[in-house]
Every structure is written in C-alpha cells, then in structure tokens.
Structure 1
C-alpha cells in the first residue's frame, strides 16, 4: 500500500546517526544521502541494500514536529535478535524506551516487538510477527 514515508527532523546529522544505528540490525541501509553544509533540504533515504528508499528523514530544522499519541511507524525485523539490537541501538543513540523487546500477546501469539521514541519525538517500533503472511 505505501511507497515510502518521510520524517521531518531538527538535526539531520544526529537523526542520520540514529537511523543508521537502529535500522542496520533490521537489514536496512542508507540508499542515498543528500547532506551538504547549509542545505535547508538535506535528506537521507533508507531501504534494502540495492533498492530504493522506503523511509527518509528530511531536515526541517525549526519546523519538524512529530505526530502525537496514536501515530507510530513499525519496521519489519528478520528475527527477535534484530528487534533486541534495534532497541539497544536506539537507547545508545539517544532514543527513549517506549516498550522493551518482548512478546505482545494482545497483538498476536507470535508478535515480538520493541518500541522507542527517537530524538525528534517520533514513535517507532521493530517487529517480527510469525503469524503474518508476508514477514520481513
């Protein structure tokens, strides 16, 4: 259904460092980088190696504002270890815990996820759901 999603961030270098770290365990990499000193539209795109961007961060300096409660973005993980590594990397890079790695039986018998809030206030998740038809 979705082609890609972008977040506006206040500090593109800090945000890129954060997403480089948290997305790597999930198998996602930078697929393009457009960061130049003084560029008000600096951006970085992430996706599968050799593919296009599925997620991007874009510098919006003072205009960046994360949506409130009720919005979050879930990234597909290849396994539980990747969910755990995502969570650890997020905390090491300045993210806040919003739900430690573990099973979420309310969402399904095999729904294993971790939740964090990134440095710009976006709520993100890494999930492996063994009951899903089309996993990571």
Structure 2
C-alpha cells in the first residue's frame, strides 16, 4: 500500500473562533462537518473536537481545543477550479481569517497552479490550490 496522509489536527486557542473559520473555509470547498465530539463523562460538556471531510468520507481536517494551540502548520487542499479557490478565500476572510496570499498564479514556484492562502485565527496557513 502506498502511504498517504489520513488527516491533520489543529489545536485552537479560541475554539469557537477557529470553528467558525474552518466551517466557512472548508465549507466553501465542499467539506462537511463529519464529527462533533464531547467528553462523554461530563454532563452538558462543550464540544472539544470537530472534523470535516468530503461528504460521505472520513474527516480529513480536525480542530481540537488545546491549551497550547498549533502554530505554523500549512494545510494545502487541492480543489477543482479557480472559482473554488476564490470562494474559499472570500469565505475564509469573512469568517475571521487573515490574508496571507490573495488568489493568484504562482508561476515562479508552482507552475500551472492557482492558489490562495489564508491564516486561521491562530496563524496557521490554509491553502486552496487548483490546476490552471
């Protein structure tokens, strides 16, 4: 079997703000929330982990509460079109993301690709990339 990445987990300092960001950014790419986990030993426990993935597939991106948030991770997601990249970028910024690289061609580094990169509330990079 060829190794492949199963999922990535990001720890958040402000779970609610990060959840809003990832819901919007990943939702713009067609990801759906696949998991919502709480501590089953507590009554009225708050959600501590969320997972998103393509409809009908396991979660590929996880967000968890964390005393020490994840920093400087770069999550790169392949999408079908330039429109997907642009919609991701707009949705991510509207949901509290910060600009890192606006939608554009990256000819010196990645020929044949159209990308946008946004920082999540803790500064991690989330990128959408489409073939040109």
Which category of TM-score, normalised to the shorter sequence, fits these structures?
A: 0.7 to 0.9
The CA deviation at 1:65 is 3.5
Aligned to 2:96: 94
Q: In structure 2, how many angstroms separate the alpha carbons of the residues matched to 1:19 and 1:103?
A: 24
Matches within 5 A, 1:1-136: 1-35=4-38, 38-39=45-46, 42-60=48-66, 62-67=67-72, 71-130=73-132
For normalisation by structure 1, the TM-score amounts to 0.83
For the Cα contact (< 8 Å) 1:35–1:44, is it kept in 2?
no
Q: CA RMSD in A?
A: 1.8
Q: Which runs of 4+ in 1 moved over 3 A?
A: 35-39
For the Cα contact (< 8 Å) 1:26–1:78, is it kept in 2?
no
Alignment: residue pair count: 125
Higher strand share: 2
